[in-house]
Amino acid sequence: MKNLIAFLLSLGIFVSINAQTVFTEALATGGTVTIQIINDELYGGSWNAGSLSKVPLDDPNNVTLVSEDFGSGQGPWKMVYDPTGNDMYVGTLGFGVYKLDLDDPLPVTKEFISNFGVVDGMIIHEGKLYVSGTNLGVNGVLYSMDLDIGGSSFQLEYESPDESIRSPLFYNNILYYSSRPINSSDPSEVLKIDLNDSNPTPELICTMSFGTVQSSLLAGSYSYFGVEGDNRIFRLNLNDTNFPLSEEIILENLDGGVIAFARDGNRLFFNNNFDVIMVYEDPNLNQGEINELEMALFPNPSGDILYLIGKTKETLQYNILTMRGQLLSSGYYASEGIDISNLTQGLYFLNITAEVSEKTMKFIKE
């Protein structure tokens, strides 16, 4: 194999193994550490410049300023997008949590949500914003906020003494997160916890080899984690219950820590050396993918039964949610369709999950 590669290189032929390429350096404003993809545009937040900018996926050097309302060194560190309100929620390094209404004229003025310490992760689940971080450098905390109510509902959900709570994500209503002792050199771990339990107790999923998780991304039943320290990306299959799981390395020996993730189809975007946004085509991201051309709802609108039309032999799980993400019902799809007769008239989301991917569609209940 090595001789083949050397031969191809001698002929001037480019060879790439696990190749990632530069997507853009146009957002190089002193620390682009958080990214999101919305409607074919990549948003990048700079904590040092105190700003949020965006570039089209098909024109990554065309930068548009979205907000510059944070101040130098106080800008976005983590952020998450709420499609139901077209809002971007932004967490900072000790300067609070904010909301940006992307329907407002540019540049957008931030709206204060709550004071907070160091924000280490943000996720939206079932109509709530969850913010994780470190409180006074002593313990990990997880707060939540009802998106319909706003900042007045910001409250503590869970506390982890002496350990951080980083890069949270939800899968099947279970919270997964990375944790590391705050005042210790012990390795990081990936844990899961059911917040609905009367006495939530973390369960070990994976003990990491080295480094600190700085970012996470859910693709179907797989969770991707970006690591700073030895600079790698690994993933875990959350359907695998043979704990503890082993890391499945996707990329390693990167030039910098992976502080942020975003996904577009089978393309994985991540930052490298803070200001460089890389892109990596990972075919695993589209395993079992249900794309829009192959899966549709019929009839829509409907008063009683919804049917899925498409070509797939996979087992499909469905969730019916309100427009604010509140889970109403769930089950496995069968040929009889999905009974929606008990829903009130209105607009809903139908989330379809295959083995390692998912698709969300809107439907109208008549």
Instruction: Let me know if residue 196 belongs to a domain.
Output: no
Same domain for 312 and 346? Answer: yes
> How many Cβ atoms sit within 10 Å of the Cβ of residue 297?
20
Same structural domain, 349 and 276: no
Looking at residue 266, its pLDDT comes to 85
* 127 and 274 co-located in one domain: yes
Is residue 261 located within the same domain as residue 325? no
Position 325 in a domain? yes
Q: What distance in Å separates the CA atoms of residue 339 and residue 316, rounded to the nearest whole number? A: 15
Percent of the chain with pLDDT over 70: 88
Q: Which CATH number fits the domain that encloses residue 324?
A: 2.60.40
pTM over 0.85: no
Give yes or no: residues 259 and 299 share one domain. Answer: no
- Is there a single domain that holds both residue 58 and residue 111? yes
Question: Do 274 and 329 have their domain in common?
Answer: no
Contact indicator for 92, 98 with CB cutoff of 8 Å: yes
State which H helix or E strand residue 10 sits in. helix 2-10
Domain boundary among the residues 286, 307, 337 is at: 286
Q: Which of 129-133, 169-173, 216-220, 282-286 has the lowest mean pLDDT?
A: 282-286
- pLDDT value for 201: 92
Going by pLDDT thresholds of 50, 70 and 90, the confidence category of residue 287 is: low
Residue range 232-245, pLDDT digits in tens = 999 999 989 899 99
On whether both 113 and 257 belong to a single domain, the answer is yes
Place of tokens 């996904």: 263
What does the buried/exposed string (b/e) look like for 265-289 if buried means 16 or more CB atoms within 10 Å of the residue's CB?
Answer: ebbbbbbbebbbbbbbebebbbbbb
Residues 274, 130 within the same domain: yes
Q: Residue 116: give its domain's CATH number.
A: 2.120.10.30
Q: How many domains does the chain have?
A: 2
Residue 8 has pLDDT above 50, yes or no: no
Average pLDDT for the chain: 85
Contact present, 24 and 55 (Cβ < 8 Å): yes
Residue 341 located in a structural domain:
yes
pLDDT, position 353: 77
Are the CB atoms for 232 and 252 separated by under 8 Å? yes
Of 259, 286, 313, the domain-final residue = 286
Kindly tell me if the per-residue pLDDT of 16 is higher than 80.
Answer: no
Residue 355's pLDDT band, with cuts at 50, 70 and 90, is low
Is 188 within the bounds of a domain? no
Q: What is the mean pLDDT of residues 192-218?
A: 92
Residue 293 has pLDDT above 70, yes or no: no
181 falls within a domain: no
pLDDT given at position 9: 35
Both 154 and 83 in one domain: the answer is yes
21-30, 57-66, 146-155, 163-172: range with lowest mean pLDDT: 21-30
189 domain-assigned: no
The CA distance from 140 to 163, in Å, is 5
Say if 93 falls within a structural domain: yes
12: left (phi over 0), alpha (psi -120 to 50) or beta: left
One domain for residues 267 and 341: no
Work out the average pLDDT over 122-150: 88
Domain that holds residue 92: 20-170+249-286
Whole-number pLDDT of residue 12: 38
Query: Per-residue pLDDT averaged across 62-69, rounded?
Result: 94
- State the pLDDT at residue 244: 93
Confidence of residue 314 (pLDDT cuts 50, 70, 90): low
Tens digits of per-residue pLDDT, 317-342? 888 988 777 888 888 888 888 999 99
The percentage of residues in the chain with a pLDDT greater than 90, rounded to a whole number, is 50
Tell me the pLDDT tens digit for each residue of 87-111: 999 999 888 999 999 999 999 999 9
Q: Are residues 256 and 358 in the same domain?
A: no
From 264, 286, 308, give the residue that closes a domain. 286
Residue 15 inside a domain? The answer is: no
